[in-house]
Amino acid sequence: MFKNEEMEINLGPQHPSTHGVLRVKLRLDGETITHCKPVIGYLHRGVEKICENQTFFQGQVWTDRMDYCSAVANNLGWAEANEKLFGITVPRRAQYIRTLLNEFNRLASHLIWLATHALDIGAMTVFLYAFREREDILDMNEAFCGSRLTTTAFRIGGLREDMPPGFEKMARKFLAKFPTCLEEYENLLSENRIWKKRTVGVAMLSAEDAIALGVTGPVLRAAGVPYDIRKAFPYAAYAEMDFEVPTETAADTYARYLVRMAEMRQSARIIQQCLDGMPEGPVMAKIPKILKPEVNEVYHATEAPKGELGYYLVGEKGSTNPYRFHVRAPGFINLQSLPKMAEGGLIADIVAAIGTLDIVLGEIDR
Amino acid sequence: MNKFLRTLIPSDIAKGLAITGKHFCKVFFTANRRKVPFHIVSEYPEVVAKVQPRYRGRLTLLKDEQGEIKCVCCLACEKICPTQVITIEKGKKEGRKMPYPVRYDFEMERCIFCEFCVESCGFDSIILNHQFELATYNREDFSLGMEGLSQNMFEPSPVGKFSVADD
Ligand code: SF4
Ligand code: SF4
């Protein structure tokens, strides 16, 4: 009686569960997705080109605005890529503070992931609790660099200022209560039958596929590949830190949830070690007032909360601007795996797939 | 059998409810009684918002004790600003050795509050104050100068009523 037809629909660009202005073209057979194509570019600002027209010093403010949920991690990558280009050694105290702030930022980013991901799937309570803890981290950002989201935290060669008075107390207070908060989230979610129904076995991405697509970060680690740049190519003060790289083998949404929760515990451990072993000394290296590059090109990869964040910088002789600047954004590369995750699944599960990738459109479109 | 019991008795949901219940009781039974309340929401427009000492707000020109403008027109801030929102016109003033800014224009709508200008100033003549409520209805109000009708570079912004604008 009825014709059997495939239907095409758009998810987004103004859809609350696409975490920004992502548009996904879906072809449906009933409720099953047969074809899925992400369309990006709605937030394109040309950050790479802007940075090529600015000096190395000024470029940092644009990196804040790429992945605005983890601005500190972006700043760190930019600062270290520049230091590599100019051959600057950063004082040890500055390295420790950078590591500390970066890990706090990872916590903030993972908390916002947990909050929005759970909200997308239908668990409202976790959203409020996770934002409560994130607020404390943002307050610490504000105390340290004066801004909550667009931090501009570091300078090429070190830090602008040392830790403000009272910062260490704030950090320790947060660390003391954070494990209980994590337990709360886990009590709310880990065993919850609705959560498990919506996540276990949903949006699978095997290790082979993940590696073939270049996926990094928690998504790759949830497929059983223990690849973490903090361990593989240590930067900042990570070589001196004692932490583990949590992995899971199930490769589904639930495994990614477990990996990120375990990562938050490890981050708290790293922060504790940073606070305890904080060396004394200056926080800024001696650098010339006008930076002119000697080496021609560098690629520097850091482990941002979302995956491998790489900065490729080409310096020109005699110029104060980068000749070419390119960002390997983790969100952009991870989004490639969305069709693989969603195709063949139900339409309700694409929300889980987008949430589990933890994308930020500011970084994907740049 | 075990699975059947688990389906029948929703222990996982009870666990979640216990957490929300605990928080609810903590806040509800201590309301108005504790010095440091458990609830973390700040009653913002009624209570003035406090920001951290390093907070980056609106750019402000400073004067010294004699009421002279501290700026000496070295143009460092103009050069370093990533969005080029500062425009300075150099000039002279009777009885002053240093150059004097005839015009100091600042277009707030494009400022990204990065504090690079303050950092580059070797004469401590500008700061970012602690105001964050800077929205206005007219676009012209965002072009600040040394003399402005609704707001200028010396005074705190009149629109920011609920944030502190000290130091
Ligand atoms: S805060 Fe940044 S954007 Fe604003 S005027 Fe100063 S340098 Fe320019
Ligand atoms: S850097 Fe300071 S002294 Fe120089 S022009 Fe700017 S405000 Fe004036």
Q: Which pLDDT band holds residue B55 (cuts at 50, 70, 90)?
A: confident
Pick from A61, A135, A188: CB nearest B114? A61
pLDDT at A305 over 80: yes
More confident call, A171 vs A16: A171
Residue partners of B24: CB distance under 8 A and separation at least 6: none
Whole-number pLDDT of residue A189 = 83
Quote the mean pLDDT of chain B: 78
The Cα of B143 is separated from the nearest Cα of chain A by a number of Å equal to: 22
> Which pLDDT tens digit goes with each residue over A85-133?
888 888 888 888 889 999 999 999 999 998 888 888 887 888 888 888 8
Domain spans of chain B, in order of start: 1-41, 59-152
The Cα of A131 is separated from the nearest Cα of chain B by a number of Å equal to: 11
More confident call, B151 vs A332: A332
Q: Which pLDDT band holds residue B69 (cuts at 50, 70, 90)?
A: confident
Q: Whose CA is nearest to atom 6 of ligand 2?
A: B77
How many CB pairs lie under 8 A apart between chains A and B? 63
Q: Picking from A214-223, B22-31, B41-50, which range would have the lowest pLDDT averaged per residue?
A: B41-50
**C-beta B115 within 6 A of ligand 1:** yes
Q: Where are the alpha helices (DSSP H) in A190-329?
A: 193-199, 207-213, 218-221, 229-232, 253-276
Q: Which residues of A touch B51 (CB under 8 A)?
A: 142
Cis peptide preceding A13, ω within 30 of 0: yes
Report the distance separating Cα A16 and Cα A56, nearest Å. Answer: 36
More confident call, B112 vs A191: B112
Whole-number pLDDT of residue B167 = 45
**Average pLDDT of span A329-335:** 89
pLDDT at B166 over 60: no
pLDDT at A82 over 50: yes
> A148 to chain B: nearest residue by CA?
B55
pLDDT at B165 over 60: no
**Residue B69 DSSP label:** B
Q: Do A142 and B51 touch (CB under 8 A)?
A: yes
> Which pLDDT tens digit goes with each residue over A279-304?
888 888 787 777 777 768 889 889 88
pLDDT at A198 over 80: yes
Ligand nearest to the CA of B78: 2
Closest ligand 1 atom, residue B56 Cα = 1
> B38 to chain A: nearest residue by CA?
A132
Determine whether A238 is exposed, middle or buried from the number of CB atoms within 10 Å of its CB (0-12, 13-18, 19+). buried
Pick from B12, B55, B112: CB nearest A146? B55
- Determine the CATH number of domain A7-365: 1.10.645.10
Whole-number pLDDT of residue A239 = 84
> A162 to chain B: nearest residue by CA?
B54
Whole-number pLDDT of residue A1 = 63
Q: Which residues of B touch A144 (CB under 8 A)?
A: 54
**Residue B67 DSSP label:** S
pTM across the whole model: 0.86
In contact, A137 and A174? CB cutoff 8 Å: yes
**C-beta B61 within 6 A of ligand 1:** no
Whole-number pLDDT of residue B163 = 60
Quote the mean pLDDT of chain A: 86
Whole-number pLDDT of residue B149 = 63
Residue A193 at interface with chain B, using a CB cutoff of 8 Å: yes
Q: Which residues of B touch A75 (CB under 8 A)?
A: none
ipTM surpasses 0.90: no
Pick from A54, A144, A191: CB nearest B82? A54
Ligand 2 centre to CA of B119 (Å) is: 10
Q: Whose CA is nearest to atom 2 of ligand 2?
A: B121
**C-beta B144 within 6 A of ligand 1:** no
**Average pLDDT of span B99-103:** 79
Ligand 1 centre to CA of B80 (Å) is: 8
Element (H, E) at A297: strand A297-304
Pick from B15, B53, B112: CB nearest A191? B15
- Determine the CATH number of domain B59-152: 3.30.70.3270
Element (H, E) at A10: strand A7-11
Most trustworthy range by pLDDT among A190-199, A223-232, B25-34: A223-232
Give residue B121's Cα distance to chain centre.
20
Domain spans of chain A, in order of start: 7-365
Q: Whose CA is nearest to atom 8 of ligand 1?
A: B81
Q: Which pLDDT band holds residue B161 (cuts at 50, 70, 90)?
A: low
